[in-house]
Amino acid sequence: MPNQPKFKRYVWELPVRWCHWTNVMSIVVLCVTGFFIGTPFSFGKSASDFTMGWIRFFHFTAAYLFTVSVISRIIWSFIGNRYSGWREFFPLATLKGREKMLRMLRYYLLLDRKVPETIGHNPLATSAYVCLFFLYSLMILTGFALYAQHAPGSPMYRVLGFMYALFSNQGMRLAHHFSMWLIVGFVINHIYSAWLMDIKERGGEISSMFSGYKFTVKKED
Amino acid sequence: MGKEDFETTPNDLEQGLEKRKYSVGEILRERGVSRRDFLKFCSAVTAAMALPASFAPRVAEALDEVKRPPLVWMEFQDCAGDTEALLRAANPTVGEIVLDILSVDYHETIMAAAGHQAEAALEKTVNDYKGKYLCVVEGSIPMKDGGIYGCVGGKSHLDRARQVCGNAAATVAVGTCASYGGIAAAVPNPTGAVGVKEAVPGATVINLPGCPVNADNLTATIVHYLVFGKIPALDGHGRPLFAYGKRIHDNCERRPHFDAGQYVEHWGDDGHRRGFCLYKVGCKGPATFHNCPTQRYNEKTSWPVGAGHPCAGCSEPAFWDTMGPMYKRLPNVPGFGIEHTADKIGIGVAAGAAAAFAVHGVLNAVRKDKEPSDETREG
């Protein structure tokens, strides 16, 4: 039914969109600068240059921005609308969620031609986001634990003391570095899926992350 | 001030013990150490303890008066490298002074006595000065199979450690082996080697890891004990903060090159000859806490990074297992065979994801799907 009328519906509130794009920008900056910190080129022309210094400065600044954004999004999941609420992230916990998830999975596996409509989050995506938030936490904790080593005994070093018990110094670097690649893998998946569903659903999937509105078959209640 | 009084029991009248009645200052004068050299030593050791220069006179005053405590030096699973480091300490007679101000009653490598005579001397110190003598331990302690992998005088290292370290006022674990098991404790650790604190949990242990220990740090630790009568403040790994409170990377003389972005790319390249940062050839300075850049080795002559070799991270727990490969930035990923770095696997993950979704996208592009309608709508 290509000519079916659709209704616009406000789905993503401003803080959700802000957090999303802050995450995007900070992850891009963090990946690029982080990769350079791990494998730098000899940029410096003289010993009084500050190439690595500035790159690390941007990495740490973006890290603070990212941390604030992630924490804000978690807080918003308790005060925002139902599409942004924390319940959305555990579709496996409810029967309805499991049904939705199965339909989505069948569609993704090319077993079903009916595109399931998702007004808020897609249940497969939210399950992936739970893993992603775990990765974010790992990145934030290992990152700041490594950062705090410049000032042992500082409040940050003390707060993150448990991390030094969980990881060796080099093991922490490896975890931080490897998790970046997992996030890169997620980003590829995420962009592809958003593009796919934008085409197939014709509900404004991608633009909804800018405007907040999606277009749905069902009129807003 | 810890003025331990060691002139006690009547059976102490043998010649070695007689000397303990004298203060450190008196012994040094007797040995012909000039007042000037003594004060120079006090200044150097005050700096090593990370105390302000104004403390130097107080250190001198305290050392003048303090009585020399007996000290025993135990060697377990080791290479005697820390003994070598101490004996080779060429500094303002610093190493010498340490040996001279202490009454070293037992040291397997340098003592004249041998066999039962030597063991009797150890026994005597432990019994007569229970809770008052200092113990220095070099080497790890094998715990496996009841500790049978190391014996001296018919007793296992473990039993000796329990007896000697357990009864000492304080035990200084010198070197990474005595602190955390070191190389002997590396996977697969066939002897079950551990550091002193793990073998004798009840002992008061100060860890001075490093391969070898920096003799200046040992001197400073002992002087701290003599002057203040207590052990220095320690970090989470039992290391004195004055020596292990900062990362090598943060005090490194090559740090400006790191911040500038000037790195040694290959051994012997232009950057290497010009003293650039060793970060890319696997320097573990960013992961290692030690005062090597400021204290240096061998009469402050040099240290590994100063000599153009990356830091190996020898003063961190489990360094042999966690700091390798020596010339790479990151460890290899376990379970993927040799030479698999995080980046190779990461690129594989990303490329795999991209390929999978590209195929999925093509399949979806040729399919004709049903757009959401009243039948498939949500809610």
- Residue A108, helix vs strand vs coil: helix
The nearest CA of chain A is from the CA of B358 a distance in Å of: 8
The span from the CA of B38 to the CA of B31, in Å, is 11
- Nearest beta carbon to residue A169 from set B257, B279, B316: B316
What does the pLDDT read at residue B247? 94
Q: Do B263 and A42 touch (CB under 8 A)?
A: yes
Task: Give the A window 44-63 contacts with B, CB below 8 Å.
Answer: 44, 46-53
CA distances from A107 to A126, B160, B375 (A): 16, 70, 15
Residue B361 forms contact with A (CB below 8 Å)? yes
Confidence of residue B10 (pLDDT cuts 50, 70, 90): very low
User: What is the tally of helices (H) and strands (E) in chain A?
Assistant: 8, 2
Instruction: Indicate the residue type of B34.
Output: S
Whether B275 contacts B260, CB under 8 Å: no
Domains of chain A, CATH where assigned: 7-40+50-216 (1.20.950.20)
Together in a domain, B180 and B308? no
d(CA B353, CA B348): 8
Q: Which helix (DSSP H) or strand (DSSP E) does residue B48 occupy?
A: helix B35-48
| DSSP strand pairing (B193-194 vs B141-142) | antiparallel
Owner of token pair 């037992």: B106
Report chain A residues whose CB lies below 8 A from the CB of B368. 113
Contact B377 A218 (CB under 8 A): yes
Residue B57 predicted with pLDDT over 60: yes
Å from A75 to nearest chain B CA? 26
pLDDT, one tens digit per residue, over B350-373 is 898 889 888 888 888 888 777 777
Structural tokens at position A137: 């936490």
Residues 84-123 of A with CB under 8 A from B: 100, 107-108, 110, 113-119
Of the two residues A26 and B69, the one the predictor is more confident about is A26
Point out the domain boundary residue: B204, B223, B244.
B244
Q: A107: helix, coil or strand?
A: helix
Is residue B263 domain-resident? yes
Residue A149's contacts (CB-CB under 8 Å, 6 or more residues apart) are A157, A169, B247, B286, B287
Distance from CA of B233 to the nearest CA of A (A): 12
pLDDT band of B90, cuts 50, 70, 90: low
CB contact under 8 A, A184 and B287: no
Q: Which domain holds residue B260?
A: 248-322
> Does B328 reside within a domain?
no
Average pLDDT of the segment spanning A85-114 = 89
CB contact under 8 A, B360 and A200: no
Q: What contacts B147, CB < 8 A, 6 or more positions away?
A: B141, B156, B157, B158, B159
Q: Which two tokens stand for residue B280?
A: 């890319």
Which residues of chain A neighbour B346 with C-beta distances below 8 Å?
Answer: 177-178, 180-182, 184
Q: Show the beta-strand stretches assigned E in chain B.
A: 70-75, 103-107, 134-138, 141-142, 151-152, 155-156, 170-174, 193-194, 205-208
d(CA A184, CA A45): 32
Is B68 found in the same domain as B35? yes
Within 13 Å of residue B322, how many CA atoms lie on the same side as its CB? 21
B224 with B262, same domain? no
Same domain, B21 and B130: yes
H or E element, residue A102: helix A95-108
CATH number of the domain enclosing B276: 4.10.480.10
Indicate if the pLDDT at residue A175 is higher than 90: yes
Q: Which of B344, B345, B378 to mutate to test the interface with A (most CBs of A within 10 A)?
A: B378
Report residue B302: phi and psi, to 5°. -165, -175
- Is B80 in the same domain as B217? yes
- Tell me the chain B residues in contact with residue A192 when contact means C-beta distances shorter than 8 Å: 357, 360-361
Average pLDDT over residues B307-327: 93
Number of helices (H) and strands (E) in chain B: give both, helices first: 18, 9
- Burial pattern B257-282, b for ≥16 Cβ within 10 A else e, equals bbbbbbbbeeeeeebbeebbbbbbbb
| Contacting residues for B288 by C-beta, under 8 A, at least 6 apart | A169, B247, B248, B249, B311, B313, B314, B315, B316, B323
Which pLDDT band, with edges at 50, 70 and 90, does B16 fall under? Answer: very low
Q: Does B377 touch chain A (CB under 8 A)?
A: yes
Same domain, B68 and B101: yes
A178 and B342 in contact by Cβ < 8 A?
yes
Indicate which CATH number applies to the domain containing B186.
Answer: 3.40.50.700
Confidence of residue B18 (pLDDT cuts 50, 70, 90): very low
Contacts of B376 in chain A (CB under 8 A): 114-117
Q: Find the CB nearest A182 among B260, B349, B379.
A: B349
> Measuring CA to CA, which residue among A216, A1, A7 is closest to residue A117?
A216
Question: Which band of pLDDT confidence, cut at 50, 70 and 90, is reported for residue B2?
Answer: very low
Residues B186 and B159 in one domain: yes
Q: Are B287 and A153 inside 8 Å of each other by CB?
A: no
Residues B263 and B354 in one domain: no
The DSSP 8-state label assigned to residue A115 in this structure reads P
Same structural domain for residues B74 and B123?
A: yes
Element (H, E) at A213: strand A213-216
pLDDT of residue A133: 96
Which of 273-302 (B) contact A at CB < 8 A?
276, 279-280, 284, 286-289
Maximum distance among all alpha carbons in chain A?
A: 67
CA distances from A211 to A33, A66, A168, B191, B265 (A): 30, 22, 45, 66, 48
B52-61, long-range: CB within 8 Å, 24+ apart, which pairs? B58/B227, B59/B223, B59/B227
For residues A10 and B4, what is the distance between their CA atoms, to the nearest angstrom? 79
Residue B354 has a CB neighbour count (10 Å cut-off) of 15
Asked if residue B4 is part of any domain, the answer here is no
Checking if the pLDDT of A37 tops 80, the result is: yes
How many domains, chain B? 3
Residue A186 in tokens: 């997620």
């650790």: which residue's tokens? B189
Contact flag A152-B263 (C-beta cutoff 8 Å): no
Residue B27: pLDDT band by 50, 70, 90 thresholds?
Answer: confident
Given B227, B244, B261, the domain boundary residue is: B244
User: Are residues B40 and B56 located together in one domain of the fold?
Assistant: yes
Q: Verify that B93 and B216 share a domain, yes or no.
A: yes
Residues B261 and B202 in one domain: no
Chain A, nearest residue to B250 by Cα: A150
pLDDT digits (tens, 9 = 90+) for B161-181: 999 999 999 999 999 999 999
Q: Closest CB to B287: pick one of A110, A113, A170.
A: A170
Q: What is the pLDDT of residues A196-220, one digit of tens each?
A: 999 888 888 999 999 999 988 877 6
Q: Is residue B5 part of a domain?
A: no
Please say which residue of B244, B271, B305 terminates a domain: B244
